[in-house]
């Protein structure tokens, strides 16, 4: 199986790692072979899917340590595209991040997920269920819901034991 992943130039160094350490770790954990040129080519068996997700996560701003969670069976990556309009993009990013990162940190804390806002995307890593709740919360903020309503929604899920 062969997969190709586009990685922004400024994130290629992170994917490679110091002296190739990150690339080698991804290859070892996923039993794949990775070539990095203008795009990333991943070859191998079923591990190609994990390596592809790890490369996508690093490309979207996650640290290699956070991205490596994706080799775990119960972890997934969700990428949400933000508006292309510059004014809307800026406002939406600010709503999701919040003052001093408070909004993003609250969503992470309440859903047990990791969230990165990078470029025109919001990326989430966590368990399938928790990523879905985090995605819902982010999409509510994108649509203009009040922060207090979004956090109340997540706290309610947490109180009912829906989020672990």
CATH topology of domain 75-159: Ribosomal Protein S8; Chain: A, domain 1 (3.30.1370)
Q: To which residue do tokens 């859903």 refer?
A: 111
- The whole-number pLDDT of residue 152 equals 92
Domain at 2-71: CATH code: 3.30.1370.10
| Average pLDDT of every residue of the chain | 91
Q: Where are the domains of the chain?
A: 2-71, 75-159
Q: For residue 28, which phi and psi values (nearest 5 degrees)? A: -65, -45
- Give one DSSP letter per residue of 62-106, joined into a string: --HHHHGGGGSTTEEEEEEEPPSSHHHHHHHHHHHH-GGGHHHHH
Taking the C-alpha atoms of residue 124 and residue 108, their distance in angstroms, rounded to an integer, is: 9
Using a pLDDT cut of 90, give the percent of the chain over it. Answer: 67
Taking the C-alpha atoms of residue 138 and residue 154, their distance in angstroms, rounded to an integer, is: 11
Q: Which two tokens stand for residue 104?
A: 């993003």
CB 27 within 8 A of CB 45: no
- The whole-number pLDDT of residue 33 equals 94
Burial of 160 (0-12, 13-18, 19+ CB in 10 A): exposed
Q: For residue 39, which phi and psi values (nearest 5 degrees)? A: -135, 170
pLDDT bracket for residue 85 (50, 70, 90): confident
- The whole-number pLDDT of residue 46 equals 86
Q: What is the pLDDT of residues 90-100, one digit of tens each?
A: 889 999 998 99
The yes-or-no answer to whether 2-71 and 75-159 have a common fold is yes
* Sheet-wide strand order for 121-127: 75-81, 121-127, 114-118
Residue 31 pLDDT greater than 90, yes or no: yes
Residue 164 pLDDT greater than 70, yes or no: no
Taking the C-alpha atoms of residue 76 and residue 86, their distance in angstroms, rounded to an integer, is: 29
- The whole-number pLDDT of residue 157 equals 84
Q: To which residue do tokens 């080799």 refer?
A: 71
């Amino acid at each position: 199986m062969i997969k190709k992943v586009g990685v922004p130039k400024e994130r290629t160094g992170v994917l490679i790692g110091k002296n190739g350490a990150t690339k080698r770790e991804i290859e070892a954990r996923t039993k794949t072979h990775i070539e990095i040129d203008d795009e990333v080519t991943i070859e191998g068996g079923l591990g190609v899917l994990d390596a592809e997700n790890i490369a996508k996560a690093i490309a979207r701003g996650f640290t290699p340590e956070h991205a490596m969670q994706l080799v775990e069976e119960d972890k997934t990556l969700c990428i949400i595209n933000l508006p292309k309009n510059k004014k809307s993009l800026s406002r939406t990013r600010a709503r999701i991040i919040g003052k001093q990162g408070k909004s993003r940190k609250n969503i992470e804390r309440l859903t047990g997920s990791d969230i990165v806002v990078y470029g025109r995307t919001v990326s989430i890593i966590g368990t399938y269920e928790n990523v879905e709740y985090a995605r819902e919360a982010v999409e509510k903020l994108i649509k203009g819901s009040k922060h207090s309503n979004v956090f109340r929604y997540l706290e309610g899920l947490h109180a009912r034991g829906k989020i672990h």
